[in-house]
Structure 1
Amino acid sequence: MPNELPLDFSHALKFPNEDLDVEFKRSLPLNDSVGKAKLAKEICALANHGGGWIVLGREDDGTYPDALPEEIVGVDQDQINQISAAYLQPSPHCTVSAEQPNGIGFSVPVIWVPSCGASPVCGKKNGPNDARGRTQGVVKGVHYTRKAGPVSAPIETPDEWQDVIRRCVLSDKTSLLSALSTMIEQPRPAPEIEEQNVFDADFEHVVARWKEEAQKYPYEVDLTNCFVAYGFQLVDAEPVTTDQLTECLRHRPQDKRSGYTFFDNDYNSPNRPFVIEVADHDGLEVHVNTTDFDHRAIWRLSECLSGTEVISYWEDTDWIKSAVENRSSRTWERGQHIWTAQQIAYANSFLATVKHIADHFNFTGDIRIRVFFSGLSGRNLKSPNIGVYYSMDYRAHQNTKQVDFVVHVEDLSAETRSSTIASMIQPMNKLTQGPAITAESVVRSIESR
């Protein structure tokens, strides 16, 4: 996945002079191997240092030339990452933005270099030799970091290695926990059990009600087609009452309600639950599907401890469209995009709510999970975050995708649910042929929010 951090590129322009975290380069001839190898050395050093900025088109003393040097006009993210991939291993994925300094009549390229991951970054191949046979820029097999000066220089002492190793270990800890979770308990296919009848009936009922009400209340996109449905069932759980369900939802911890709140019931119209019977079982329902709300939802919780919520895509709201278009020159067409970080956040919030319901009723068994994406055809991967974009066209050509599997309740704990989230989102993401969503990338996405 691309870097989803809300990067503030203007921050790099606030430094009056170079620092360990920021490097100024008036110009680099990025159309030849000398300039590429020198830039690769700076990227390597900043990555091993823990991340930082490179500002092109700025003098070492912090001033700017009269005009942007021609050789760095039009520098873009693809060009920088091609250089990184050619000269470094593992190659950091950099993010590039054009920023205009105060009082300057042109924009300069600003490069964000992320911290190294589980492995330190080193030279993959040598830069070209000068007239005296000396290697220019990066050297194969050498690990660089930022040192006092500031300069980018090889890591030489144990103290310098200690900081780099610590960053790699901390990064690898997150990856290792995610990998162990994936290996220990992969989601299992949904079993053929009789209790599925209530779950399926609830799911079909909520989706049908959604489509009925979508026709009554106009929206910018076709809600009969554009929605995501999340469902769960606590397999073999003892039935409860609607009053007990209400009490469970009232006592959700606040940290479980971050982001979008699934099965929300604040008892203010139109969010006050009412009781409807489906498949001979009562359940609570809420319909937030009027023209007063730009984001729509219908949900149901059954006394059999199964639940379904159908929601519109947050990507289709006027709020996202306005936020993107008011702060950049980009356009954001409603009904045309999928933001994977938002879908990961939805799945995380949903699973946190399901885990709370299971804990509230002391449930310790298996949980059936279902997610149904509709309206995917023609949608393209995109992020509203400034400085984050996809260089390729990742467009879905299939309209719907349903995913069913079973996990154990402990797999929904905050520390281990990343693999479950990846299992929910990656099948949809695969239709776009976009970057794979793994347990590790889920952790990074959630931590960045």
Structure 2
Amino acid sequence: MPSIDELLPLVAEPREDLAAEYKGWLNLAETNHKAVLAKAAIAIANHGGGYIIIGMRDDRAQLVSVSRPDEIPATAQDTVNAAIQRFATPGFHCEVYVVPHPETGVFHPVIVVPGGMTEPVMSKRDCRDVIAQNRVYIRKPGPRSEEPQTGEEWRALLRRCVQNGREDMLDSIRAIVSGRVEPVSHVPNAAAELHGYAEGARRRWQELVADLPENDEARFPHGYYEMAFKLIGAEPAPTLVELRNRLQVAQRIRLTGWTTFLDMNRPEWAPYLHEDFIEAWVGRKVDRDWLRTSAHCDFWRASRDGKLYTVRGYSEDGIPNKVPAGAAIDLTMPVWRVGEGLLFASRFAETFEGVESIAIECTFTGLKDRYLTSVDGMRAMFGDRHSRTDTVTLVGQPTVQQVQDNLTEVMQALLSPLYERFDFFEAPFELFDTELNKLRGGRF
């Protein structure tokens, strides 16, 4: 990220060029000003990145620093990105820095627009006399932001996107070969916000099971695992009906027989509205309880801003004549459980605009004194590896692209701390790679 000193020349010695756009003060509470900002950002992103500097007036071909009017609110990063997400597709994230003018002392917002786009950025909404829907804007000499008109302008844009796509592909190949996953920039407070959401969803589940007998399977008496996801940067779904539609898009792909975020047709188990959430509880008792084990009493919840939560008991605790309830964890099951949840979250993310990454929080409880085993005997396990820890929480924040291209590496980084709890067991790369290939192929 640039420092204030590095950005200072943009303010102290203002000069418009193809990578720098200067604007007067914009009130981003107004749709017209949002469109002005978004159009400039789209053009600069298509140019390969650059800067938008706010608070400069063009005075006889000279850019001068002017104070922000009292009626115009300060330019916040969230407000800038909300304006861009409203008008641009695909969405992208900008950083905002406040740089003081060395002479006037006025603090000017400097918006850093990223480059590296692998497809042209387009506008997705109209704003009269400012921006038109489904248009591509580029930077042209002047400088100005306009649609490409000539074959050469289009070829230059497409060449840039193809080159960026080639670099992304090569980076993915390098990551696979070297077994690494590049870290992403963590959004401040995202982990804390997701943790709070998970705690609220867990309290809601506890309300639902409060009247059940203490050892009821729906209360997961031997422990449970929960997964929570937050789509960083997602533009919220406008209504709960639209949220339900997006969930159903993600639910079309079923990777296992009892899939994550299950959508049941039976009225007692079907998703329903609760406050400003969609949730489902399969632990509710009905006349026929033929599948009522801890592994089939899920509770899940989804919010319009792209957060998900689910909790489920361990299937190992309900397999007759295999292992006693509460005694073991199957070697492959965490890979399948979390892998399926993360793949669902990535499909869900594709129905939103502006998603930068997926924050994850997974918690496994009831681990103390369990041992690691292969329930079906398909994997050799030597020695008894027990957990002395009862609960472990795992966190991560991959991009959607990393989930799609480097799922094995993402999962190994996320789940290794869980396996280590079992007497320092080091889960091999092959375990994740083989089981995730089976999962994606629907071989359950």
Task: Tell me the TM-score normalized by structure 2.
Answer: 0.53
Q: Within 1, Cα distance between the matches of 2:391 and 2:374?
A: 21
Question: In the superposition, relative to structure 1, how do residues 226 and 213 fare at CA in structure 2: closer, same or farther (>3 Å)?
Answer: farther
| Deviation, structure 1 residue 311 | 0.8
The one-letter amino acid of 1:262's match is: T
Structure-1 residue corresponding to 2:201: 206
Matched, 1:288 2:289: no
Question: In the superposition, relative to structure 1, how do residues 377 and 355 fare at CA in structure 2: closer, same or farther (>3 Å)?
Answer: same
The one-letter amino acid of 1:401's match is: V
| Deviation, structure 1 residue 209 | 3.0
Question: In the superposition, relative to structure 1, how do residues 285 and 434 fare at CA in structure 2: closer, same or farther (>3 Å)?
Answer: same
> Are the aligned partners of 2:235 and 2:354 in contact in 1 as well (CA < 8 Å)?
no
Question: In the superposition, relative to structure 1, how do residues 435 and 196 fare at CA in structure 2: closer, same or farther (>3 Å)?
Answer: closer
| Deviation, structure 1 residue 309 | 0.5
> Are the aligned partners of 1:259 and 1:345 in contact in 2 as well (CA < 8 Å)?
no
Contiguous gaps of at least 5 residues in structure 2? 1-171
The one-letter amino acid of 1:210's match is: W
> Are the aligned partners of 1:221 and 1:335 in contact in 2 as well (CA < 8 Å)?
no
- Aligned partner of 2:243 among 203, 223, 245: 245
The one-letter amino acid of 1:310's match is: V
| Deviation, structure 1 residue 201 | 3.2
Structure-2 residue corresponding to 1:145: none
Q: Within 1, Cα distance between the matches of 2:282 and 2:218?
A: 16
Matched, 1:185 2:176: no
| Deviation, structure 1 residue 373 | 0.8
How do 1:353-432 and structure 2 match up within 5 A?
353-386=344-377, 388-413=379-404, 415-432=405-422
> Are the aligned partners of 1:187 and 1:405 in contact in 2 as well (CA < 8 Å)?
no
Secondary structure of the corresponding residue to residue 397 of structure 2:
strand
Structure-1 residue corresponding to 2:324: 333
Q: Within 2, Cα distance between the matches of 1:439 and 1:234?
A: 27
Contiguous gaps of at least 5 residues in structure 1? 1-174, 326-330
Q: Within 1, Cα distance between the matches of 2:252 and 2:340?
A: 12
Q: How many residues align?
A: 258
Provide, for residues 162-184 of structure 1, a one-character-per-residue CA deviation record: whole Å limited to 9, x for no partner. Answer: xxxxxxxxxxxxx9877447424
Question: In the superposition, relative to structure 1, how do residues 418 and 387 fare at CA in structure 2: closer, same or farther (>3 Å)?
Answer: closer
The one-letter amino acid of 1:300's match is: R
Q: Within 2, Cα distance between the matches of 1:187 and 1:203?
A: 22
Q: Within 2, Cα distance between the matches of 1:284 and 1:257?
A: 22
Q: Within 1, Cα distance between the matches of 2:279 and 2:367?
A: 27
Structure-2 residue corresponding to 1:350: 341
| Deviation, structure 1 residue 387 | 5.3
> Are the aligned partners of 2:234 and 2:355 in contact in 1 as well (CA < 8 Å)?
no
| Deviation, structure 1 residue 384 | 1.6
Structure-2 residue corresponding to 1:49: none
The one-letter amino acid of 1:301's match is: A
| Deviation, structure 1 residue 306 | 0.6
Matched, 1:271 2:262: no
Structure-2 residue corresponding to 1:441: 431
| Deviation, structure 1 residue 246 | 1.1
Structure-2 residue corresponding to 1:23: none
| Deviation, structure 1 residue 357 | 0.7
The one-letter amino acid of 1:422's match is: Q
Provide, for residues 197-226 of structure 1, a one-character-per-residue CA deviation record: whole Å limited to 9, x for no partner. Answer: 653332112222333444515436962560
Secondary structure of the corresponding residue to residue 198 of structure 2:
helix
Question: In the superposition, relative to structure 1, how do residues 386 and 236 fare at CA in structure 2: closer, same or farther (>3 Å)?
Answer: closer
Question: In the superposition, relative to structure 1, how do residues 373 and 178 fare at CA in structure 2: closer, same or farther (>3 Å)?
Answer: farther
Q: Within 1, Cα distance between the matches of 2:418 and 2:383?
A: 17
Secondary structure of the corresponding residue to residue 230 of structure 1:
strand
Structure-1 residue corresponding to 2:105: none
Q: Within 2, Cα distance between the matches of 1:365 and 1:436?
A: 31
| Deviation, structure 1 residue 252 | 3.1
How do 1:137-286 and structure 2 match up within 5 A?
179-180=176-177, 182-186=179-183, 191-193=187-189, 198-215=193-210, 216-217=212-213, 218-219=215-216, 223=220, 226-240=223-237, 241-252=239-250, 254-277=252-275, 282-286=276-280
Q: Within 2, Cα distance between the matches of 1:220 and 1:309?
A: 16
The one-letter amino acid of 1:192's match is: P
Question: Which sits farther off after the overlay, 246-255 or 289-298?
Answer: 246-255
Provide, for residues 394-442 of structure 1, a one-character-per-residue CA deviation record: whole Å limited to 9, x for no partner. Answer: 11001001112211111111x4211221223211111002542244430
Secondary structure of the corresponding residue to residue 180 of structure 2:
helix
Q: Within 2, Cα distance between the matches of 1:276 and 1:221?
A: 20
Q: Within 2, Cα distance between the matches of 1:187 and 1:386?
A: 38
> Are the aligned partners of 2:365 and 2:390 in contact in 1 as well (CA < 8 Å)?
yes
Q: Within 1, Cα distance between the matches of 2:183 and 2:192?
A: 24
Provide, for residues 8-45 of structure 1, a one-character-per-residue CA deviation record: whole Å limited to 9, x for no partner. Answer: xxxxxxxxxxxxxxxxxxxxxxxxxxxxxxxxxxxxxx
Structure-2 residue corresponding to 1:48: none
Question: In the superposition, relative to structure 1, how do residues 342 and 177 fare at CA in structure 2: closer, same or farther (>3 Å)?
Answer: farther
> Are the aligned partners of 1:273 and 1:284 in contact in 2 as well (CA < 8 Å)?
yes
The one-letter amino acid of 2:420's match is: K
| Deviation, structure 1 residue 336 | 0.9
Provide, for residues 210-249 of structure 1, a one-character-per-residue CA deviation record: whole Å limited to 9, x for no partner. Answer: 3344451543696256011101101121111211121122
Question: In the superposition, relative to structure 1, how do residues 376 and 289 fare at CA in structure 2: closer, same or farther (>3 Å)?
Answer: same
Question: In the superposition, relative to structure 1, how do residues 351 and 181 fare at CA in structure 2: closer, same or farther (>3 Å)?
Answer: farther
Question: In the superposition, relative to structure 1, how do residues 287 and 253 fare at CA in structure 2: closer, same or farther (>3 Å)?
Answer: closer
